[in-house]
Amino acid sequence: MLSNLLLLSLHLLSIDSAAGSHVFRRSDSTLQGKDTIVQLFEWNWASVASECAFLSSAGYGYVQVSPASEHITGAQWWTDYQPVSYQLTSKRGSRSQFINMVSTCNTAGVGIIVDVVLNHMTAASGIGFAGNSYSKYNYPAVPYTSSNFHYCNGNGQASDISNYYDSYDVQFCELVGLADLAQEQPAVQTIMAAYLNDLLSIGVAGFRIDAAKHIPAANLAAIFKLVNAPFYDTQEVVYGNGETIDPSDYVATGSVIEFRATSTVQSYFSGQPGIASLVTPQPMGSSWGFVASSAANFIMANQDTERGGTSLNYKSPFYYLSAIFMLGFNYGTPTVYSGYNFSDFDAGAPQNSAGYTNAVTCGSSGWRCEHRMPLIANMVAFRNAVGCAPLTNVTKGTSQQIAFGRGSIGFLLINNDVKAWTSVWNTSLPAGTYCDIIHDTTLDPNVCNGPAYVITDSGLLSASVLPGDALALFTPSPTSATNYTCPPPDPAPAPTVVTLTFDVTASTASGEIMRVAGSIPQLGSWTPWQAIPLSQVSSSEWKVTMRLAPGTSFEYKYIKFSSSGSVTWESGSNRVYTVPSNPSLSVTLYGSFGSTSSNTRAVTASPTAATSSSMYSSSASSSSSSPSSLSAVSSSSSASAIVSSSAALSSIVSSSLAVSSAAVSSSSAAVKSSSSVKPSAVASSSATHTSSTPAPASTGATVTFHETASTSVSGTVVKLVGSIKQLGSWAPNSAVPLSKISGSNVWAVTLVLPPNTAFQYKYVKVNGKTIVWESDPNRTYTTLGRGSSTTLTSTFR
- For residues 108 and 366, give the distance between their C-alpha atoms in angstroms, rounded to a whole number: 27
Q: In Å, what is the CA distance from 180 to each residue of 171, 246, 522? A: 8, 20, 20
At residue 648's C-alpha, the angle toward residues 646 and 650, to 5°, is 140
Give the 3-state secondary structure of residue 138.
strand
Helical (H) or strand (E) element with 199: helix 186-202
Q: Residues 6, 474: contact at Cβ < 8 Å? A: no
Do 254 and 276 contact (CB within 8 A), yes or no?
A: no
The C-alpha R_g of the chain, in whole angstroms, comes to 27
Its sign, for the CA torsion 470, 369, 277, 234, is negative
Sheet holding 469-474: strands in order across? 391-396, 401-406, 410-415, 469-474
Q: Is 236 a catalytic residue?
A: yes
- Please pick, among 42, 70, 174, 210, the residue that the annotation labels catalytic: 210
Ramachandran class of 211: left when φ > 0, alpha when ψ lies in -120 to 50, beta otherwise: left
Distance linking the first and last C-alpha atoms of the chain: 66
Compute the Cα dihedral for 175, 177, 179, 182 and give only its sign: positive
**Beta strands, E only, 270-387:** 296-299, 333-338
For 320, residues 6+ apart whose C-beta sits below 8 A from its C-beta are 370, 373, 375, 376
Written as one letter, the residue type at 97 is: Q
Which residues, in sequence order, are bridge partners of residue 423? 463
Catalytic residue among 115, 174, 236, 370: 236
- Phi/psi for 732 (5° steps) reads -55, -35
Buried b (16+ CB within 10 A) or exposed e, 265-297: bbbbbbebbbbbbbbeeebbbbebbbbbbbbbb
Active site residue 174: no
Q: Which amino acid is at 491?
A: P
With contact defined as beta carbons under 8 Å apart, do 80 and 93 qualify? no
Active site residues: 210, 236
